[in-house]
Amino acid sequence: MDNEEFINVDDINYAIYKIGEWKNNYEINQIGLSNEIPLTKNTLSHVKFSMGEIRESKFDISDKTVNGFVAIALQLNPKIQEMELDDVIALEEKEYDEILEELESLELLDDGETIPLDNEEYLIYKLEKECHVTTSIPANEFTKKHYIDEMKKIEEALN
């Protein structure tokens, strides 16, 4: 008998994604820079909440107060660093609206479904809460490999 473990799609302890491409190109929005597309209502809610948290973070740059997406982009993206601050702020607002539109139009898995935890179709993260911080831990080998590859890409881009 197969002892394969299954998880419920609506389990709030897991975030489930597929590897894919966004319709639009993004320079600032960290969600849109990822190739991880949310596949469940809970994952979608988590992504929207995270975006809201980043946007609610405020930083003073030059003579303006900017949100977290703008601040991160100005720190990490050389292309953005060359832009006027007002243009970066406007671009972030445009990208935020576009990513919200894309998120709202995603085809999601049905809440009643179950999926095998160990598969190569879905990126599955176990969500663990420590104080006020939620940590996403790769829950299967496919996700671990993808996560490691993504971290290498980020590291190379920063060097």
Instruction: Give residue limits of the domains in the chain.
Output: 6-158
**Per-residue confidence in pLDDT tens, the chain, 159 aa:** 456 799 999 999 999 999 999 999 998 987 877 899 999 999 999 999 999 999 999 999 999 999 999 999 999 888 999 999 999 999 999 999 999 999 999 999 999 999 999 999 999 999 998 877 788 999 999 999 998 988 887 777 666
User: Using CA atoms, how far apart are residues 41 and 24, in angstroms rounded to an integer?
Assistant: 21
**128-138 burial: b if 16+ Cβ within 10 Å, else e:** eeeeeeeebeb
Residue with tokens 């894919």: 20
Question: Measuring CA to CA, which residue among 14, 103, 13, 93 is closest to residue 55?
Answer: 93
DSSP secondary structure, 137-159, as one string:
EE-SHHHHHHHHHHHHHHHHHH-
Residue 144 tokens read as 């671990």
**In this predicted structure, what is the pLDDT of residue 127?**
92
User: Using CA atoms, how far apart are residues 22 and 69, in angstroms rounded to an integer?
Assistant: 18
At CB < 8 A and 24+ separation, what contacts does 117-121 make? 117/4, 117/5, 117/6, 117/7, 118/4, 118/5, 118/142, 121/18
**Single pTM value for the model:** 0.88
